[in-house]
Amino acid sequence: MFENVHEIILKVTRDCNLRCAYCYVRNKDRYRGERMSFALFKRLIDRYVLDQQKNSPDRQKQTLSLIFHGGEPTLLDTHELIRFMNYARRKIPYIQFGMQTNLTNISAELAIILQKYGISPGISADGWHSRFNQLRTRRQSKTIFRNVRLLKQYGVNCAPLIIINKLNIRSILTNIQRMLKIFGLQDIKANYVENIYTSDPAYPEVSADELITQLFLPVINQLKKKQVIVETNIAGMLDRFFQTSLFGVNNDPDKDNVSGNCYMKFCAGGNNIVEVDADGAVCSCGRWDAVHEVCQLGFINTADPWGLRSYGKAACLQIQKARQLRKKHCDICPAQNICSYGCLAFAYAKYKDFRIREELVCAYHLKAKKYLQENSSLILKAYAGARQWPVRKIHKKIFTVELPAGFPPLNEAQISQMPGWSVVNVDGQNLLQVILC
Amino acid sequence: MTIEELDTCTLCGKPMAEILVLTEVTLEIHSRYHREDDTFENMNGLQKKTSEFLCEECLQQFVEKLTSFTTERRSFASPEAAAQDGQDVPAVK
């Protein structure tokens, strides 16, 4: 079950002191007082170690991230938290800890623990002002930012995850910039909300057009002005766009190419990342919240010879995704190399079927790809600056970009497809030359 | 895991002292996505290579079940192969 796992989302409780409108943990009231026991946690760690031993030596994992999650993980008693981490570290020396929290329940004692165990918590916060956080909490916005300062005093860095919704989309770039200042960061992740409680594209969801006009274009314009990429998902989109444009597509089917967890063609749910609930249930990803049997891998003590049972479940999910990719002809879509391909779990929760949301995912990425393609040269210049690739101005409308060591060779056939781009050899080094149209 | 580290059959739990023949069965599974352009693509690391150590009874059961499964599947894929195996050819594929 845990043979391939490099990240465990550990829901130590599904209880929470907040009731965020769009949370995918349904019916939280039934989980009041739920807490994972140390005995169960111990069985989880022991099971992980055992499953790793089943791997062939060349496939045994050398990294494991254990992310305390929920509900609200800070509801777990701090002494239990320490007990959990000490046991885990004894058994798995290479383990790293993380936490996703709403940051309303932080004490100096907890801050010291976070600092001691090297935890930089992820914070759920939709904006710097209470009006942006109304879908999460009406009273505790100030508490959140007070606790950010408290954590900083103890040398604990934290990073917010913004959920883009109707309340914060209009000033999302300003919101992001203020949050960067508060948290002392270079960039922030902002995911768009999906209303899984109704099958309509309903409040508080935003449309693809709003994402383009209010998020994507402002972030790109700021990139062009200041050579910074302030939002992580868009940074990833740019990375994929330029990787394809400069080096071509490298997708060796025989390589164990793990490229991420979420919002990609084939997510890692049930394979490299699993969720473990406070009652010991193991599932592909918390976003499924038990809406479909295929996401339920079993329990911590479920027999799984060769890891075959859990593999079958993970493969079953990805086969559903593959069917949708075929149905939508994603393999020949112009945006295929920048797309996030949506979240199957959220789509299933919303529509009770497997789908890629065309009106949101396809619409957004096709528009983004068109814009990137039409403005590729100017964006490349700014992107190279943001990535600290040396850019030399040869002429008013001509510049060269030098790729740092460690990058693959420039793909001339791919580059020739971009207007004004070519590969030139200068002093024995291949550089990308761009002529602005 | 090496043979020396084992205490039991990893399937049925029979103690090592009672095992006559210990067999390591390694399973390597690797799934690839078949694209519309007829090339194959990796699926974000969807593959495993794991071993179980079977006592002689578990090995026998394992071989029997796997053999009957493959024989049944072959009968769907190829009626000729099914006939060779001595299986009845199914009326509907």
* A255 or A228, greater pLDDT: A228
Q: B49, B58, B65: best mutation site toward chain A, by most A Cβ within 10 Å? A: B49
Quick check: A59 contacting B, CB < 8 Å?
yes
User: What integer pLDDT is reported at residue A280 of this predicted model?
Assistant: 96
The C-alpha of B83 sits at a distance from chain A's nearest C-alpha, in angstroms, of 30
Using an 8 Å CB-CB cutoff, list chain A residues near B8. Answer: none
User: What integer pLDDT is reported at residue A26 of this predicted model?
Assistant: 81
As a whole-number percent, the residues of chain B with pLDDT over 70 amount to 85
Q: First CA to last CA across chain A, in angstroms?
A: 54
Residue A350 domain-assigned (yes or no):
no
Residue A323 has pLDDT above 50, yes or no: yes
Quick check: A255 contacting B, CB < 8 Å?
yes
- Residue where one domain finishes, among candidates A274, A298, A314: A314
The C-alpha of A77 sits at a distance from chain B's nearest C-alpha, in angstroms, of 36
Which of A3, A325, A326 has the CB atom closest to B48's CB atom? Answer: A3
ipTM, interface predicted TM-score of the complex: 0.90
Residue A36 has pLDDT above 80, yes or no: yes
Residue B92 — pLDDT band, cuts 50, 70, 90?
very low
Chain B residue with the nearest C-alpha to that of A322: B33
User: What integer pLDDT is reported at residue A257 of this predicted model?
Assistant: 66
Three-class HEC string of chain A: CCCCCCEEEEECCCCCCCCCCCCCCCCHHHHCCCCCCHHHHHHHHHHHHHHHHHECHHHCCCCEEEEEECCCHHHCCHHHHHHHHHHHHHHCCCEEEEEEECCCCCCHHHHHHHHHCCCCCEEECCCCCHHHCCCCCCCCHHHHHHHHHHHHHCCCCCEEEEEECCCCCCCHHHHHHHHHHHHCCCCEEEEECCCCCCCCCCCCCCCHHHHHHHHHHHHHHHHHHHCCCCEHHHHHHHHHHHHHHHHCCCCCCCCCCCCCCCCCCCCCECCCEEEECCCCEEECCHHHCCCCHHHEEEECCCCCHHHHHHHHHHHHHHHHHHHHHHHCCHHHCCCCCCCCCCCHHHHHHHHCCCCCCHHHHHHHHHHHHHHHHHCHHHHHHHHHHHCCCCEEEEECCEEEECCCCCCCCCCHHHHCCCCCEEEEEECCEEEEEEECC
Least confident of A125-129, A140-144, A364-368: A140-144
pTM of the model: 0.92
User: In the predicted model, what is the mean pLDDT of residues B31-42?
Assistant: 93
Residue A253 domain-assigned (yes or no):
yes
Quick check: A344 contacting B, CB < 8 Å?
no
User: In the predicted model, what is the mean pLDDT of residues B37-41?
Assistant: 92
Quick check: B27 contacting A, CB < 8 Å?
yes
Question: CA-based diameter of chain B, in Å?
Answer: 55
* A98 or B75, greater pLDDT: A98
As a dihedral over the C-alpha atoms of residue A150, residue A231, residue A75, residue A131, rounded to 10 degrees, the angle is 80
Size of interface A-B (CB pairs under 8 A): 93
Tally of domains in chain A: 2
The C-alpha of A237 sits at a distance from chain B's nearest C-alpha, in angstroms, of 17
Q: Where are the domains of chain B?
A: 7-84
Residue B81 — pLDDT band, cuts 50, 70, 90?
low
Using an 8 Å CB-CB cutoff, list chain A residues near B41. Answer: 251, 253, 265
As a dihedral over the C-alpha atoms of residue A151, residue A154, residue A155, residue A158, rounded to 10 degrees, the angle is -10
* A19 or B57, greater pLDDT: B57
Quick check: B49 contacting A, CB < 8 Å?
yes
Residue A57 — pLDDT band, cuts 50, 70, 90?
confident
Quick check: B36 contacting A, CB < 8 Å?
yes
Residue A302 domain-assigned (yes or no):
yes
Residue A116 has pLDDT above 80, yes or no: yes
Looking up residue A119, the CATH number of its domain turns out to be 3.20.20.70
State the average pLDDT for chain A.
92
User: In the predicted model, what is the mean pLDDT of residues A322-350?
Assistant: 95
- Residue where one domain finishes, among candidates A294, A314, A334: A314
Cβ–Cβ below 8 Å for B45 and A271:
yes
Residue A394 has pLDDT above 60, yes or no: yes
- Residue where one domain finishes, among candidates A314, A337, A352: A314
Q: Are residues A308 and A404 in the same domain?
A: no
User: What integer pLDDT is reported at residue A325 of this predicted model?
Assistant: 96
Using an 8 Å CB-CB cutoff, list chain B residues near A256. Answer: 42, 45, 47
User: In the predicted model, what is the mean pLDDT of residues A45-66?
Assistant: 89
User: What integer pLDDT is reported at residue B16 of this predicted model?
Assistant: 95
Nearest to A123 by CA among A167, A177, A162: A162
Q: Are residues A91 and A234 in the same domain?
A: yes
Quick check: B67 contacting A, CB < 8 Å?
no
Least confident of A91-105, A244-258, A319-333: A244-258
Q: pLDDT for A165-221, tens place per residue? A: 999 999 899 999 999 998 999 999 999 999 988 888 788 999 999 999 999 999 999
Residue A156 has pLDDT above 70, yes or no: yes
User: What integer pLDDT is reported at residue A437 of this predicted model?
Assistant: 79
Residue A239 domain-assigned (yes or no):
yes
Quick check: B38 contacting A, CB < 8 Å?
no
Structural domain harbouring A416: 389-435
Least confident of A178-192, A279-293, B11-25, B36-50: A279-293
Residue A135 — pLDDT band, cuts 50, 70, 90?
confident
Least confident of A55-59, A85-89, A307-311, A331-335: A55-59
Residue B93 — pLDDT band, cuts 50, 70, 90?
very low
User: In the predicted model, what is the mean pLDDT of residues A335-352?
Assistant: 93
Cα separation, A201 vs A198, in Å, equals: 8
User: In the predicted model, what is the mean pLDDT of residues B20-32?
Assistant: 95
The C-alpha of A301 sits at a distance from chain B's nearest C-alpha, in angstroms, of 14
Q: Are residues A31 and A151 in the same domain?
A: yes
Using an 8 Å CB-CB cutoff, list chain A residues near B6. Answer: none
User: What integer pLDDT is reported at residue A241 of this predicted model?
Assistant: 96
User: What integer pLDDT is reported at residue A433 of this predicted model?
Assistant: 95
Q: Are residues A107 and A234 in the same domain?
A: yes
Residue A24 has pLDDT above 70, yes or no: yes
Q: Are residues A157 and A260 in the same domain?
A: yes
* A27 or B83, greater pLDDT: A27
Which of A251, A260, A271 has the CB atom closest to B46's CB atom? Answer: A271
Chain A residue with the nearest C-alpha to that of B38: A331
Residue A358 has pLDDT above 70, yes or no: yes
